[in-house]
Amino acid sequence: MTSLGDDAVELTRELVALDTVNPALVPGAAGERPAVELLAARLSRRGFGIEIVGPADRPSLLATHRGRGGGWSLALNGHLDTVGVDGMEEPFSPRIEGGRMYGRGTCDMKAGVAAMVVAAEHAADAGHDGDVVLALVADEEHGSLGTEAVLEQLAGRMPDACIVGEPTWLDVIVAHRGFAAIEVEIHGRAAHSSRPDEGLNAVTLLGRLLGAVEARDRELAAGEGHPYAGHGSLMATVVHGGSAPFTLAAHASAIVERRSIPGEPLDSGLREVQTIIERLSLDASCRELVARDPWELSGASAARRVVELLPFTGRAGAPYWMESAMWESAGVPTVVCGPAGGGLHTVVEWVELDQLRAYTKALAALIPAFGRES
């Protein structure tokens, strides 16, 4: 008889063998459907109710096992998409070596998904009082359309708590930063470069904008940070300007990225960029392309209960964003913890199998205990 940990290792192997590269990152890529189909069929056989939500070509899976009663519900959330595989020799041929499994998505985050599925199946077989909801989503690596679809589907029946199984080395994440991307369009006036007084060089104006953005970033770095999430930041990540030599640029543009810490409002980046434009008297417009809230572990009783039941004592912050912020914003107290390894988004990705086994065992014990009195 295999152990829960061995079952999770085997399911990780099956999931990694599937190409689920996010097509929003790599045009024409396969997307998440192969994993949704595999897991929906498997979980249906184990008595889970199946709901497939979101766009037909980018599906996400909600699989719910109803308990004996008790009024509580617990969501286990992970993403099925991966980044691309350029430079990888055999990204979908998982191999085990030295206590690690290698392959695209092993760490980020098919091992976490496998642990959640196996632990939920174990709870279903053993019996539990409340409901267990597996929320296995598309598009986390890009636009979060999967979690948006899942939260819309769950409206009116939100779970009492959610565990997000992102790779954390089994630390409980206490906080992470939010982000926003702001597109700036700068308007100049074209002229021959031999007669610059007849024009207005948008590239020069872009340089002033970049200098002001860098200055604001230094201010943020020197200010009071968050004990776990660190400091906010402001930086330009994409710039364009000019059309030809010997011509003053009539147009330039930039994308400015703002990383925010808990306590800062969602529109921090947009307001700061607007302030810079006004202070420099630029003929420019800006618009927010995307913005996501920062997140901090709440003091809600359901979140505290999850943390109490997890046997892992490490606490950490994350400089990057996770979909925990979306669950929390929807009113669901959320905890982030999962098995890890290394090489995320690189050509050599792996997960530590001891972490995977320990996480699976912890979730299997946590699910039936969650609804009981502490």
140 is catalytic: yes
Q: Are 177 and 230 in contact (CB under 8 A)?
A: yes
Give helix 111-126 / helix 4-16 axis angle, nearest 10°.
140
**CA distance from start to end of the chain:** 32
- Which H or E run contains 213? helix 202-222
Prior bond of 158 cis (ω within 30°): no
DSSP assignment of 78-100 equals EE--B---TT-SSTTS-EEETTE
7 has catalytic annotation? no
**Catalytic option among 108, 140, 166, 328:** 140
Cα dist from 105 to 83, 277, 293, 346, 364, whole Å: 8, 41, 25, 10, 22
**And the tokens for 313?**
């004592």
Catalytic residue among 81, 108, 148, 264: 81
Q: CA-CA distance, 44 to 64, in Å (whole number)?
A: 10
The residues carrying an active-site annotation are 81, 140
